[in-house]
Amino acid sequence: MAPPTTLKLTNRSPKQPIKKLPAAIHLPADATVEDVKKLIAKEAGFSDYNRIGLFYPSTRKTLKDRKALIAEDKEVADAGEVLVKDLGLQIAWRTVFVVEYLGPILIHIAAVAARPYLLKDPSMSPSQWLSFGMIVAHFFKRELETLFVHKFSANTMPARNIFKNSAHYWLLSGALCAWSIYYSPWSLAARADQPLVDAVGTVLYLFGEISNALVHLYLSSLRSAGGTERKIPQGYGFSLVTCPNYMYEVLAWVGIILASRDWSVALFILIGGVQMFVWAKGKERAYRKEFGDKYKKKRYVMLPGLA
């Protein structure tokens, strides 16, 4: 049996130290980053080990892979030390996503249901109904993927993030889009009478949503249950961009823009697209760093010829 490893522990934030942080802990040779968090949490009196953040002493960057073996991390092994920080109250990633996507569903349903009580003419145009169906179906699909498809490399995130993350969906794709499409006197969807535009939007939407779902199912198949390992993705769209799921997401929302003819929908996906671009750039950097020459570098990370 391999001898235990002694790991020195130092508070990363001296002004906000973990008061009961032990000076060091003894670990078996096969201890993972997650095991270290659990041991520290037990010694320091934390009921949730996910509150424990571990950082490299030299770069002060986080140890991201919770399943990685501490003994195989050269930087930690050479230093014999990690920095430790209390990350605060945590909430599960899956819970955050469920809450984020539930908002637009409830808001759009409520907005349509309230029309008979708020408007003299509660009837909606075919384009308004189409927009309603597209938006609600999109977020319902996201809820199903969150519950049954996605696998998360991290267990939790700081609980305070749920308010910031939810605001983007609840306020923009929820409240703003619902008002602009169903109630605004300038709503183009209310006056739309161009079935061809609706048809084109529907085709784009269905292609984007189905393709996005296929990519998500494929990415989920690359990771074991509860695992954090990554593999080089190939196939449907991956020869074009780093993150084809984002590409298909944008295409689906272009379909919604055509159906709704609405500026608020365009604003929502513009803001979301910028964030997806940042994530995709990070994903490309991570693939290049982890897989080196085995990975075929991509010039475009999200939209061929654009980004």
Domain ranges of the chain: 5-88, 91-294
b/e for 233-265, b at 16 or more Cβ within 10 A?
beeebbeebbbbbbbbbbbbbbbbbbbbbbebb
pLDDT for res 1 = 41
| Topology adopted by domain 91-294 | Four Helix Bundle (Hemerythrin (Met), subunit A) (1.20.120)
5-88, which class in CATH?
alpha beta
Give the pLDDT score at 225.
84
Residues 6 or more apart whose Cβ sits within 8 Å of residue 57: 10, 79, 81, 82, 83
The amino acid sitting at 113 is A
Rounded CA gap, 26 and 45, in Å?
Answer: 17
What are the tens digits of pLDDT across the range 96-134? 999 999 999 999 999 999 999 999 999 999 999 999 999
What pLDDT, on the 0 to 100 scale, is given for residue 29? 86
Tell the residue number behind the tokens 């997806």, with chain if given: 276
| Calpha distance 78→227 (Å, rounded) | 26
| Residue 211: half-sphere exposure toward Cβ, Cα within 13 Å | 21
Please report the pLDDT score of residue 186 as a whole number.
Answer: 96
- Give the pLDDT score at 250: 98
Q: Are 134 and 205 in contact (CB under 8 A)?
A: yes
Instruction: Indicate the helix (H) or strand (E) that contains 8.
Output: strand 5-11
Pairing of strands 5-11, 24-27: antiparallel
Q: How far is CA 203 from CA 130, 177, 244, 273, in A?
A: 12, 21, 18, 21
**Rounded to 5 degrees, what are φ and ψ at 230?**
-125, 145
Predicted model pTM: 0.93
Which tokens in the block code for residue 53? Answer: 């953040």
Q: What is the pLDDT of residues 59-106, one digit of tens each?
A: 999 999 999 999 999 999 899 999 999 999 999 999 999 999 999 999
As a whole number of Å, the CA-based R_g of the chain is 24
Q: Do the two domains 5-88 and 91-294 of this chain adopt the same fold? A: no
Regions of the chain where pLDDT drops below 50: 1-2
pLDDT of the residue at 4:
59
Give the C-alpha separation, 127 to 188, whole Å.
9
- Surface-to-core class of residue 97, CB atoms within 10 Å of its CB (0-12 exposed, 13-18 middle, 19+ buried): buried
- What residues form DSSP beta bridges with 26? 6
As a whole number of angstroms, the distance between CA 191 and CA 126 comes to 10
